[in-house]
Amino acid sequence: MEKQTNKFINIAVQSATIILLLGFAYIFYRKQITISGFVSTLTVKQLPYYVIRSLIRMLAAYLLSLVFSFMYGLLAATSKRREAVMLPILDILQSVPILGFFPAAVYFFVSIAPTKVLGAEFAAIFLIFTSQAWNIAFSVYESISMIPADIYDAYNLFDPEGKLKLFRLYIPATIPKLVYNSILSWTNGWFFLVASEIFAIGTEAFRLPGVGSFIMEAASENRIPLMLLGIITLAIVIIFLDLFVWKPVSQWSRKFTYSVSPGEEETKEVWAVVIIFWEFIGDILRYILKLIRKLNIRPAINFNFIRRIWSKRFGEIVRKAILVLTLAFLAYAFYAIVKSIPALFTKLKFSDLILSIKGICLSFLRILISYLIAVGWTFPFAIYLYNHPRPARFISPIIQILPSIPAIAFFPLILYFLLPIKGGLNIAAIIVILAGMQWYLLFTVYGGLKAIPEDLAEVTESFGLNGKIKLKRLLLPAALPSIMTGTITGLGGAWNALVVAEYAMLNGKVFSVLGIGSLLNTSLATNDQSLFIVSLTIMVAFVYSINHFVYRPLYGKIIERYKVEE
SS3 sequence of 303-367: CHHHHHHCCHHHHHHHHHHHHHHHHHHHHHHHHHHHHHHHHHHHHCCHHHHHHHHHHHHHHHHHH
b/e 469-491 (16+ beta carbons within 10 angstroms → b):
ebbeebbebbbbbbbbbbbbbbb
Tens of pLDDT, residue by residue over 521-536, are: 888 777 777 888 888 8
- Specify the pLDDT at position 349: 80
β-sheet bridge partners, residue 512: 503
CATH hierarchy code of domain 44-256: 1.10.3720.10
Tens of pLDDT, residue by residue over 12-60, are: 777 777 777 777 676 666 545 555 545 456 778 888 888 999 999 999 9
Distance of CA 431 to the CA centre of its chain: 20
Q: List every span in the chain annotated with CATH 1.10.3720.10.
A: 44-256, 348-566
Percent of the chain with pLDDT over 90: 6
pLDDT at 64 over 90: yes
pLDDT band at 566 (very low <50, low <70, confident <90, very high): very low
Residues in the chain: 566
pLDDT at 9 over 90: no
Q: Which CATH class is domain 348-566?
A: mainly alpha
pLDDT at 425 over 70: yes
Give the mean model confidence (pLDDT) for residues 231-249.
Answer: 86
Backbone angles phi, psi at 204, to 5 degrees: -105, 160
- Specify the pLDDT at position 232: 87
Q: Look at 113-117, 199-203, 411-415, 550-554 and tell me which has the smallest mean pLDDT.
A: 199-203
Sequence-ordered alpha helix ranges (H) in 78-210: 80-95, 102-112, 116-145, 149-158, 165, 171-197
Distance of CA 484 to the CA centre of its chain: 17
- Specify the pLDDT at position 361: 92
Question: CA nearest 480: which of 392, 374, 400, 554?
Answer: 554
Give the mean model confidence (pLDDT) for residues 170-199.
Answer: 82
Q: Which residue has the higher pLDDT, 266 or 505?
A: 505
Taking the C-alpha atoms of residue 406 and residue 435, their distance in angstroms, rounded to an integer, is 8
Tens of pLDDT, residue by residue over 485-512, are: 778 777 877 887 787 788 877 666 777 8
Q: Look at 140-154, 399-413, 486-500 and tell me which has the smallest mean pLDDT.
A: 399-413
- Specify the pLDDT at position 56: 93
pLDDT at 426 over 90: no
- Specify the pLDDT at position 130: 86
Q: Is 66 helix (H, G, I), strand (E, B) or coil?
A: helix
pLDDT band at 448 (very low <50, low <70, confident <90, very high): confident
Percent of the chain with pLDDT over 70: 78
Other C-beta atoms closer than 10 Å to the C-beta of 520 total 27
pLDDT at 405 over 70: yes
Q: Are 494 and 95 in contact (CB under 8 A)?
A: no
Q: Look at 137-151, 203-217, 370-384, 423-437 and tell me which has the smallest mean pLDDT.
A: 203-217
Q: Is 505 helix (H, G, I), strand (E, B) or coil?
A: strand
Taking the C-alpha atoms of residue 397 and residue 137, their distance in angstroms, rounded to an integer, is 26
Report the run of H or E that residue 503 belongs to, with start and end. strand 503-506
Taking the C-alpha atoms of residue 106 and residue 95, their distance in angstroms, rounded to an integer, is 21
pLDDT band at 306 (very low <50, low <70, confident <90, very high): low
As a whole number of Å, the end-to-end CA separation of the chain is 34
Average pLDDT, the chain: 76
Interior angle at CA 58, CA 52 and CA 61, nearest 5: 140
Report the run of H or E that residue 229 belongs to, with start and end. helix 224-241
Taking the C-alpha atoms of residue 338 and residue 210, their distance in angstroms, rounded to an integer, is 39
- Specify the pLDDT at position 265: 46
Q: Could you say which DSSP state residue 113 is in?
A: S
- Specify the pLDDT at position 266: 46
Which pairing describes strands 204-207 and 198-201: parallel, antiparallel, or unpaired? antiparallel
Tens of pLDDT, residue by residue over 357-366, are: 999 999 999 9
Give the mean model confidence (pLDDT) for residues 208-212.
Answer: 85
pLDDT at 264 over 50: no
Q: Look at 31-35, 146-150, 557-561 and tell me which has the smallest mean pLDDT.
A: 31-35
Taking the C-alpha atoms of residue 502 and residue 100, their distance in angstroms, rounded to an integer, is 13
- Specify the pLDDT at position 205: 60
Question: CA nearest 460: which of 480, 478, 483, 442?
Answer: 478
- Specify the pLDDT at position 365: 93
User: What residue type is assigned to position 307 of the chain?
Assistant: R
pLDDT band at 82 (very low <50, low <70, confident <90, very high): confident
Question: CA nearest 524: which of 204, 96, 123, 191?
Answer: 204
Q: Look at 22-31, 389-398, 547-556 and tell me which has the smallest mean pLDDT.
A: 22-31
Q: Which residue has the higher pLDDT, 301 or 468?
A: 468
Taking the C-alpha atoms of residue 330 and residue 336, their distance in angstroms, rounded to an integer, is 10
Q: Are 401 and 239 in contact (CB under 8 A)?
A: yes
Give the mean model confidence (pLDDT) for residues 540-550.
Answer: 82
Cα diameter, the chain: 75
Q: Are 200 and 505 in contact (CB under 8 A)?
A: yes
Q: Which residue has the higher pLDDT, 284 or 455?
A: 284
Sequence-ordered alpha helix ranges (H) in 348-423: 350-387, 389-401, 411-418
Q: Is 509 helix (H, G, I), strand (E, B) or coil?
A: strand
Report the run of H or E that residue 206 belongs to, with start and end. strand 204-207
